Amino acid sequence: MITQKSEHIKLDTELIRKDFPILNRSINNFPLIYFDNGATTQKPNQVIEAITNYYSNTNSNIHRGVHTLSREATEAFEVARKTIASHFKIKNEQQLIFTSGTTDSLNIISAGLSRSVLKNGDEIILSSYEHHSNILTWQLWAGENNGKLKIIPLKNDHSLDYEALEKLITPKTKIIAITHVSNTLGLVTDLTQIKAIAKKHNLIIVVDGAQSAPHMEVDLTELDVDFFVCSAHKIYGPTGTGILYMSEKWLRALPTTKPGGGTIKTVSFEKTEYAEGALRFEAGTPNIEGVIGFAAAINYLNRWGMKIIHEYELGLVNYAQYKLSEIPEVIVYGQSTNKAAVISFNVKDVHPFDVGTLLDKYGIAVRTGHHCTQPLMAILCVPGTVRISFAIYNTKTEIDFFIEKLKKVISMLK
């Protein structure tokens, strides 16, 4: 078991930036300023090297061979599971299932629940700011089973209306599937309130942690929800890898809906006995280098620990939000201070696409569009927003440059 150091080193962005080779790139003759971390983060050398090292020295299929390489690869894979489980404070590492990402995890959960818990006509509660990934899979089920999606509305400050939530619940309500941090607004969902209500009505809680896991400490033992999912690529790890955490109860109870090699104990043409624990859900050859790279990313972050990272990034968000508030033409969505490292804004009477196009000319990578939250865009009555999202390698100097260029862009477009 890899233990975490309790003494964390100070977060020094100048040193951190040296670990990310891509930050040396220039875009349109400007140094790259990467503010699209909500979509995916850049990868440090430690992750890149872990993957190269795996392919150069260990590559082999896991859980199968008797030979040395296969043993080593299996060991590396299972050490990675322990590392990541310990990071998220998961007691039994079997509760940590590797998937191809958040979307895959959500699909596995909804497929399993639809074959066990959900009955014709049941209801599922979602929030107004869900990512499409946490809407579509439930909507698909609802469409085929007379089901209903009920949506927690937003208050004027764009935070969730928790009081309205309880009124949505009926005896047919079975699940509340909710994002921990809105990928568009950066707002943090108050899971304590959600949990209190859900426990009272005996609802299953599914948490989409795609945007919380990169920015804050997530203690899954303390959080104590039924399911929690996230993607490695948004946490400095490789693409195509994610996790699906489930409570001990669901680890035993969730039906297998995605069977395949690796998930079994014995197979005959008549009957199959499935494996126990995480393996039952990990069909086919997994993304081995992805999992190993993910563990390298987690080890990298734990040099500082998520508390320090969260504080640092919160400093960036507050600074950027303050600077944006000084520009009269800018509208920031989701004004609350309870935010993770994401800010969405628009310039009055200007299409976000124009802002993004011109910022790119200055080497600044931002996201524009609906951010896979079209229902939220409809609620906000905008075609899209400009989104900036931060990571540990971003700095106030970058924010200053961004603000300066944003002002220039506004003057060009007005």
Partner 1 sequence: MSITDIENEIVEEFEIFGQDWEAKYEHLIDLGKSLPVIKEERKTEDKLIKGCQSRVWLDSEKKNDKIFFTADSDAIITKGMVALMIRVLNGQGAKDIIESKLEFINKIGLKEHLSPTRANGLVSMINRMKMDALTLSK
For partner 1, the binding residues (CB under 8 A) are 28, 350-354, 357-358, 361, 368-369, 383-384, 412-413
Of 259, 276, 295, 299, nearest in space to 95 by CA: 276
| 368 interacts with, out of ligand PLP, partner 1, none, CB within 5 to 8 A per kind | partner 1
Tokens representing 126 are 């979602």
CB of 387 to ligand PLP, least distance (A): 10
Angle in degrees, CA 269, 275, 281, rounded to 5: 100
CB of 180 to ligand PLP, least distance (A): 8
| 164 interacts with, out of ligand PLP, partner 1, none, CB within 5 to 8 A per kind | none
| 179 interacts with, out of partner 1, ligand PLP, none, CB within 5 to 8 A per kind | ligand PLP
Separation between Cα atoms, residue 121 and residue 140, nearest integer Å: 13
Of 410, 413, 412, 402, nearest in space to 360 by CA: 402
| 358 interacts with, out of partner 1, ligand PLP, none, CB within 5 to 8 A per kind | partner 1
- Give whichever of 189 and 395 is closer to ligand PLP, judged by the CB atom: 189
CB of 288 to partner 1, least distance (A): 30
Q: Is the dihedral of CA 301, 304, 310, 316 positive or negative?
A: negative
Interacting residues with ligand PLP (CB under 6 A): 101-103, 131, 133-134, 179, 183, 208, 210-211, 231, 372
- Give whichever of 187 and 358 is closer to partner 1, judged by the CB atom: 358
| 37 interacts with, out of ligand PLP, partner 1, none, CB within 5 to 8 A per kind | none
- Give whichever of 106 and 332 is closer to ligand PLP, judged by the CB atom: 106
CB of 21 to partner 1, least distance (A): 23
CB of 284 to ligand PLP, least distance (A): 18
| 318 interacts with, out of partner 1, ligand PLP, none, CB within 5 to 8 A per kind | none
- Give whichever of 277 and 369 is closer to partner 1, judged by the CB atom: 369
Fill in the amino acid letter for 66.
V
How far separated are the first and last CA of the chain, in Å rounded? 58
CB of 152 to partner 1, least distance (A): 27
Of 217, 282, 242, nearest in space to 64 by CA: 282
Of 395, 405, 316, 311, nearest in space to 23 by CA: 395
Separation between Cα atoms, residue 201 and residue 102, nearest integer Å: 26
- Give whichever of 87 and 405 is closer to ligand PLP, judged by the CB atom: 87
Q: Catalytic: which of 79, 117, 331, 372? A: 372
126-165 per-residue burial string, b: 16 or more CB within 10 A, e: under 16: bbbbbbebbbbbbeebbeeeebebbbbebeeebbbebeeb
Q: Which residues pair with 208 in a beta bridge?
A: 179, 229
Find where tokens 């951010």 sit. Answer: 371
* Catalytic annotation present for 372: yes
Catalytic (active-site) positions: 372
